[in-house]
Each structure stands twice: as C-alpha cells, then as structure tokens.
Amino acid sequence: MKSVDTVAAFLLFMIDHKDIFVCPACSGALNISINRYIIECPGCNISFKCEDGIPLMFYPGEFNPNTDVTETVKAFYEETPFPNYEELDSKWRLIEKSEKGTFARLLDRQIPYGAVVLEVGCGTGQLSNFLGIKGGRTVIGTDICVNSLKLGAEFRAKNTLNDVAFFQMNLFRPIFRPESFHIVICNGVLHHTGDPFLGFKSILKLVKKGGFIIIGLYNTYGRIPTAIRRFIFKISGDRFKFLDSRLRDKSLEYRKRHTWFMDQYKHPHESTHTIDEVLDWFAQSGVEYTNSIPKAKAFESFSQEEKLFKLNDKGTFFDHLLVQCGIVFKKNSEGGFFTMIGRRMF
C-alpha cells in the first residue's frame, strides 16, 4: 500500500508551483483538493482525477479527427511503455547509463541549477529523472501514457527525487501557462502525432522568451535502413531480427529488446522529417537555431564537450543533404534520429 504522501506528492507539487498550471480545456486557473485527490477547473467545471498519484490531465486535441492519431498512439504505449527500465535500474545505474549517452550527459552539465525544465512525451521518464537526480532544478515529465508515467513516478519515489514530477498531458492541450519553462525537451514524440508542426507550435508557447526548445525526430534519410528492416520483418514473419544491432545485443534484458522492437517496427504511426523542415518551423515561429545532433554543417563533428546552447552555423541545403546521408551509415543512430536545438526569440 502506498503512503498518502506518495499518492499526493504531485498534487503538493502543483500547489507549490500553482502559477504555472492551467486547465487544459480553457487555460483557466485550477483548484487542487489534496483531501479528495482531485483537480478542478472552476471556469469550465471539469475535474481531473489521479491514478496511483499521477494527475490525469489529458484533454483531447482539437485538430482534424481524420488525422488525429492520439488515441491509437496512446493505446500502443499503454501496452508497451517506452523506453522502460531494467530490473536492476537504480539511481546509480541510471546515472551510469545516462552519462554514457553524450546528449543526456551534456544536458545535465549545461542546464543551469534553478532552471525549470519540461519534458514533453517523457515516456517512462528516464531523462526527467536523470536531470532531477542532483536536485536544484525543477523537472516535469508529461506524457499521454499513464502506464509509462507510473514507471517514471515509481522510480522517482524509490529514489526520493523530490524536484521531479509527472503529469498526464496531451501536448496539443498543455496544462501549463505560456512561457513557464526555461527549457522544453521533446524527444521522439512529434513524429508520432498527426500534426508535428502544430505540436511544435503548441509546446513552443511554453518556453520563456530567450529559453530553449529541443526537438528529436526521425530523419527522412536516416530512417531508410529501419524502413528496409521493417519491410524484411514484415514479409518474413519477424524473422531476421539479428539485422537490428539492438535486437542482437544479448546484454540487454529481453523486455528492453522487445520494447525497442515494438517501438521501431510495429508502431501504428510515424512520420519522418528533415533538418531543412525543422529550420523552416524555427523560422516561422521566431526560433533561432543554436545547435543540432548531428551538426547541421557538413564535416563538423559533434564534440564530447559540445556547448549545446551556443550559436552555431546552420549550414546550407547541401550541407544538410550530406549530414543526413551520414545518419544512414552511423552506428547506433537510434533508428535514424536527429535533434535540433533552438532559442525562442519572441
């Protein structure tokens, strides 16, 4: 049986940070009842319950129902929470694993203490928990999938990460006031929505002016090897799994390999994007390009000590072509992934 404190932790967190939370339906202020474990919007008379301590603040998006894939994607992740933890994952093991990845390590070193950080589509919350481990920053992880959030919240409670909190939220219907965050991270999420640019604009509003947005997406070129493997798996009844390096890595637990297989090869919806497309999103929305993984300029390599938030040359169309072809041949490209970082100017 969970203690009342654990169940109410995120409601108490909301009370402590009352200024940043709003109703996802009408953007009005909220009332929080600790005794009844309920969040109410006096403006539109909607109430939001909690499940295992997670405030369930999902509100459906409002774009074209023919292209809205939110419910399908939600059902997929409820079944297969991603990226999932391994049996033995502890605070120290999470630090060790996260520090092996350049991106997480650099984020942890370069996001200043005192910063308020939002991870949108945090899945099982590894990055949010990692960024909150040392304390001193406020890190909020949100996702539509309650089963994923529960795993993140369990890890958080087990390791007493008091500066981290998890909420259910549809990124098209944010539960936060505009300009509440110094940094918004959205890794591997927008390409699983029906309208990635609309999603980008929705979460950009949450970034303070002068703050940063970090977007990770499948790359149109980089994703080609995965598409070929997906086709081979499909026509062979999922044989030849050894063609994917993660699926042949026996040092990973079976559950981790299965989660990867499902996410990469059985996903109900994904789109792919290019560096030029995201630069265009940035230009249309008042965001200045600062950096990317891989770097946008051909023949420049992303250093182990890269300054993530420092202004870099955004390269030319030809640079981007070369860089993106490079993702195809990169070892451990995370399924043809690229990450773009920009600064909100206005």
**C-beta of 152 vs 225, nearer to ligand SAM:** 152
Verify binding: residue 121, ligand SAM, rule CB under 6 A: yes
Pair of tokens at residue 108? 């942890």
Instruction: Compute the chain's Rg from CA coordinates.
Output: 20
| Cis amide leading into 83 (omega within 30) | yes
Verify binding: residue 219, ligand SAM, rule CB under 6 A: no
Identify the H or E element spanning 342.
Answer: strand 337-344
Q: How far is the CB of 144 from ligand SAM (least distance, A)?
A: 4
**Residue from 32, 122, 133, 203 in contact with ligand SAM (CB under 6 A):** 122
Nearest to 217 by CA among 141, 293, 331: 293
Task: Specify whether the CB–CB gap between 70 and 193 falls below 8 A.
Answer: yes
**Residue from 123, 196, 294, 335 in contact with ligand SAM (CB under 6 A):** 123
Number of Cβ within 10 Å of residue 121's Cβ equals: 26
Distance CA 119, CA 127 (A): 8
Residue nearest to ligand SAM (CB): 123
Calculate ∠ Cα 178-169-62, nearest 5°.
Answer: 80
**C-beta of 123 vs 211, nearer to ligand SAM:** 123
**DSSP-assigned beta bridge partners for residue 338:** 217
**DSSP-assigned beta bridge partners for residue 289:** 342
Number of residues in contact with ligand SAM under rule CB under 6 A: 21
Verify binding: residue 83, ligand SAM, rule CB under 6 A: yes
Site pattern 23..62 for ligand SAM (x: CB under 6 A):
----------------------------------------
Verify binding: residue 188, ligand SAM, rule CB under 6 A: yes
**C-beta of 8 vs 217, nearer to ligand SAM:** 217
Q: How far is the CB of 318 from ligand SAM (least distance, A)?
A: 30
Distance CA 113, CA 115 (A): 5
Residues 125-154 that bind ligand SAM (CB under 6 A): 143-145, 148
**Whole-Å CA distances, 135 to 8, 101, 151, 207, 280:** 20, 20, 20, 21, 36
Q: Which residues of 127-162 are buried (b: 16+ CB within 10 A; e: fewer)?
A: bbbbbbbeeebbbbbbbbbbbbbbbbbbbbbebebe
Residues 237-296 that bind ligand SAM (CB under 6 A): 263
Stretch that binds ligand SAM, among 184-192, 218-226, 280-288, 313-321 (CB under 6 A): 184-192
HSE-CB at 100 with a 13 A cutoff on CA atoms is 6
**C-beta of 144 vs 161, nearer to ligand SAM:** 144
**C-beta of 148 vs 291, nearer to ligand SAM:** 148
Residues 152-171 that bind ligand SAM (CB under 6 A): 170-171
**Residue from 128, 187, 264, 291 in contact with ligand SAM (CB under 6 A):** 187
Greatest C-alpha distance within the chain:
60
Stretch that binds ligand SAM, among 75-83, 94-102, 130-138, 281-289 (CB under 6 A): 75-83
**Residue from 22, 39, 50, 70 in contact with ligand SAM (CB under 6 A):** 70
Verify binding: residue 320, ligand SAM, rule CB under 6 A: no
Stretch that binds ligand SAM, among 76-84, 239-247, 275-283, 305-313 (CB under 6 A): 76-84
Distance CA 204, CA 5 (A): 33
Q: How far is the CB of 37 from ligand SAM (least distance, A)?
A: 22
Identify the H or E element spanning 48.
Answer: strand 46-51
Residue numbers at the binding site for ligand SAM (CB under 6 A): 70, 73, 77, 82-83, 121-123, 143-145, 148, 170-172, 187-189, 192-193, 263
